[in-house]
Structure 1
Amino acid sequence: MARTPSNMIPLGTIAPGFKLKDTNSNNEEYSFEDLKGSKGTLVIFMCNHCPFVLHVIKEIVMIANDYRVQGIGVVAISSNDIVKYPQDSPEMMTEFAFQNKIDFPYLFDESQEVAKAYEAACTPDFYLFDSQDRLFYHGQLDDSRPGNGIPLSGSDLRSAIDALIYNRSLNEIQKPSIGCSIKWK
């Protein structure tokens, strides 16, 4: 299992725009503007087959459910090459969302342009933007990884979201997420 870290881009970077089809709602197209929350927006690059995503998906869903009601928009994007990885196709994304009770948009980045614009490197890769669309946090969910025995808590991401919502300072040193590489064409 390859371990690819996030590309750590500068905090304050403005969220790149996008317009992508949602595999979780009859292929409606959504933009960043459509999905942003009043207090901030969490953009997650993920896919269906990555063992790192499978390890954390329940916590991702819990975080989305906990924080959307507090003004955080949540969106997931899959950018993997579906020719080489058909298990990440839009049809399979719809099934994955259903099986995992994902009720936030799960968008398909067929051209991979959105992943490139965000400099996304791995799945999962978490980007938390403030209400002005500036990058506030880009790091790991927590220290848990498949097989390392550390319990899943979501503590790093939850602390970042709490800091954003409650206007607290956040440590500028952020641990990169670790996961499978995005499967480029």
Structure 2
Amino acid sequence: MALVGSNKIENGMVAPDFSLLDTKTNTFKNLEELKGSKGTIIMFICNHCPFVIYVNKELVKLANDFIPKGINFIAISSNDVNYYPQDSPIYMKYAALHLKYPFPYLFDESQKVAKAYNAACTPDFYLFDKNLQAVYHGQLDDSRPGNGIPVDGQDLRLAIANLLENKKNIDVQKPSIGCSIKWKD
């Protein structure tokens, strides 16, 4: 497991569009139809990363807390399934159903979407406003597997609260840390 931090992006960056396979429904979904009325969280995750496994329950809780408030969640896996078959669409669907993801779990087979977002690790979190302009890119919270800090989603929750209250997010946006995205050769 290669430990990697997320790449910096500029606030105000417009979310790159995409159309990807939703492994839960076996249909293609695009950003326009999935975005939230007040904001959208795009998460690069995967099935096998211990950092994602560690926060999965909080991801479900966050989504259940904020989807009713107009913040939609979109999970994307971009890993090379030739080397990590546990991240393939059939296993993504199983994980999404088993974990009760209340959001689509999309497969970025070409890895073009991850590259368009400059994603580097799993998990990697992006928060966009209703106009799909970036307002936050950073960690979920300070917890990590084995560090004894409880998973509470504090950093992302604060960014969402600021967005919903029309406040500028002035807090330090700490990079997310996790497994590197498994790029194709």
Q: Tell me whether 95-104 or 78-87 shows the greater mean CA deviation.
A: 95-104
CA contact (8 A) 1:15 1:135 kept: yes
Query: Per-residue deviation at 1:175?
Result: 0.1
Partner of 1:41: 40
Secondary structure of 1:126's counterpart equals strand
Partner of 1:143: 142
CA contact (8 A) 1:12 1:134 kept: yes
1:153 and 1:62 map into 2 onto residues whose CA distance is 9
Query: Per-residue deviation at 1:22?
Result: 0.2
Secondary structure of 2:86's counterpart equals helix
Deviations 1:93-113, CA, capped at 9 Å, x for gaps: 011111111121000000000
Partner of 1:57: 56
2:3 and 2:141 map into 1 onto residues whose CA distance is 15
1:142 and 1:173 map into 2 onto residues whose CA distance is 12
Query: Per-residue deviation at 1:73?
Result: 1.2
* Aligned-CA RMSD value: 0.8
Partner of 1:22: 22
Identity %, equivalent residues:
61
1:37 and 1:101 map into 2 onto residues whose CA distance is 19
Secondary structure of 1:129's counterpart equals strand
Secondary structure of 2:138's counterpart equals coil
Residue 145 of structure 2 aligns with an amino acid whose one-letter code is P
Q: Where do 5+ consecutive residues of structure 1 fail to align?
A: none
CA contact (8 A) 1:24 1:103 kept: no
Runs ≥4 in structure 1, deviation > 6 angstroms? none
What TM-score do you get using the length of structure 2 for normalisation? Answer: 0.98
Partner of 1:152: 151
Aligned residues: 184
Q: Tell me whether 170-179 or 53-62 shows the greater mean CA deviation.
A: 170-179
Partner of 1:91: 90
Q: Where do 5+ consecutive residues of structure 2 fail to align?
A: none
1:171 and 1:177 map into 2 onto residues whose CA distance is 17
Question: Does 2:22 correspond to 1:7?
Answer: no
Residue 10 of structure 1 aligns with an amino acid whose one-letter code is E
